[in-house]
Amino acid sequence: MRTGLFTEAEEPHLLGGHCVACGRHHFPRAEICPYCSADGARPVELSATGHLWAWTAVTAPPPGYRGEVPYGFGVVELPEGIRVVTRLTEADPSRLRTGQPMRLVLVPVGEDDDGRAVVTYAFSPADEP
């Protein structure tokens, strides 16, 4: 995966930006605010918990993807006032609901051309162990 998307600590966080000009958060982190075009956005670690806003499951591997299917896919709303597009650890849409508490985790998604494990971010239902 691209570096600079998330921290790899035991409790990972997505790396976003906070624009000092317009006050809004964004992800992934960018030098220029994608909403107001101001320079100098401040790097921040985004909240690791949020609420589920939309979800589905991907049943066939999309282009360039070597991990397993099906996998969950959705949007989680974070307290910073942003909605993040993300994989979900739950691949059964019937087990998910609007507003469900979610927590950031890191998951393996196959290997790259050099045989190295690829790890990416996902959100998992927070009410499960």
Binding-site ranges for another protein (CB under 8 A): 1-2, 5, 16, 24, 26-28, 34-35, 53-67, 71, 73-75, 77-78, 81-85, 87, 93, 98, 109-110, 112, 118, 120-121
Minimum CB–partner distance for residue 54 and another protein (Å)? 5
Residue nearer to another protein on the CB measure, 114 or 129? 114
Residue nearer to another protein on the CB measure, 59 or 129? 59
Phi, psi of 58 (to 5 degrees): -95, 125
Residue nearer to another protein on the CB measure, 98 or 127? 98
Residue nearer to another protein on the CB measure, 7 or 129? 7
Minimum CB–partner distance for residue 124 and another protein (Å)? 15
Please answer whether residues 125 and 101 qualify as being in contact, where contact means their C-beta atoms are separated by less than 8 angstroms.
yes
- For 28-80, what is the HEC assignment? CCCCECCCCCCECCEEEECCCEEEEEEEEEECCCCCCCCCCCCEEEEEEEECC
Tokens of 80: 């910073």
Q: Could you say which DSSP state residue 110 is in?
A: E
Please answer whether residues 36 and 21 qualify as being in contact, where contact means their C-beta atoms are separated by less than 8 angstroms.
yes
Minimum CB–partner distance for residue 110 and another protein (Å)? 8
Minimum CB–partner distance for residue 28 and another protein (Å)? 6
